Chain A
């Protein structure tokens, strides 16, 4: 049974179609890595899967409340401490296990530090720890390893592996080998044809419907 699947999906960025005909199914315990050059539409696809924008065409199927999205920006509040940041998201998602997430992402020594004083890599670890407190099965991640050092990439790879072993699933846009037994989806072959119908025209129509 698949936790997340897409059928004949077409997505647009700023009204211009970037990808079309994308289809995949993600079963429990599996990871899918999205590959493709810059600008191919990885972020747009992930935002569509996360429900932040509607697809041009096709559909995304996911169990309700299954997807946890981690964007480029971590959504970390500088004036709150590491623990307070996580505790906020834990209560939004109705879970309680902040301490476990802090230990898992190796943030114990930083737990009471204000997030504004963290380095870029430490902030990223905090952003990824947020995935652990969501308690959701499908992690949708956009370049999760940016600004992480080698040790942290390995740590994060282990965290994802444990998540998959526990019956979760992950959709990751990344160019780094996380050491996962993952399927790879190369988006290059789904590039939207320039003349593809829909895009600009429907964005225009949308404003008047």
Chain B
């Protein structure tokens, strides 16, 4: 398990691009939006939570199809399936590697981008907390989508169509936490729901994804 984690991290870092790609995309979204809607501080402050969350979600989506597709193409997935590693564990570990490479940098970079979008000061801690709680769900839901489409040629687009609707609850409650936090309101309810979605996804989806991979390998 640990070996698989280190291998995936090493591959992501060495492949070049894989590591910084999502982060650079997130940065570009945050830079482009003020250019599009204009520099009005009040407008930016109002849309900042939503834009930051949508940006995080899209940057996660960018690298999802690499989770299993590369291993499928070079035959490693067959060999992993016949190895002593349980497929459920392999899915969870690969999702964790995806989060460390994509989600964690987004969490750390988000406050800087919040400045670009004029996020009100009380919103910053909630931005970091909501992303830290929500992005693991993005990675594991994405791993499930990638598992469903693993054998398909050019399955990336289909995967995006499958995964984006599943991301909606996370997006709604994640952005709600930041919005309420920025307005100085209590955030307990959306925060609890966000955490519940992540916990539920982490508990169930490795099994669903492993089943999907087994079917796709036949």
Contact = CB atoms under 8 A, between A and B. Distances in A.
A73 B82 contact: no
Nearest to B7: A88
B24 interface: no
B76 interface: yes
Contact of B78 (A52, A80, A130): A52
Given A69-B82, A75-B76, A53 B218 contact: yes
Contact of B11 (A73, A79, A134): A79
A72 interface: yes
B15 interface: yes
B78 A69 contact: yes
Chain A: number of interface residues, binned into ranges: 20 to 34
Q: Is the interface of A mostly helix, strand, loop or mixed?
A: loop
Contacts of A19: none
A45 interface: no
Nearest to A70: B79
Interface of A: 47, 50-54, 65, 67-69, 71-80, 84, 87-89, 91-94, 130, 134
B74 A92 contact: no
A92 B75 contact: no
A53 B11 contact: no
Ranked 4 nearest A-B pairs via Cβ: A73-B75, A91-B3, A75-B76, A53-B218
B82 A50 contact: yes
20 contacts: A50-B82, A52-B81, A52-B217, A53-B217, A53-B218, A54-B218, A68-B82, A71-B75, A73-B73, A77-B7, A77-B74, A77-B76, A79-B15, A80-B11, A88-B3, A88-B4, A89-B79, A91-B2, A93-B84, A134-B83
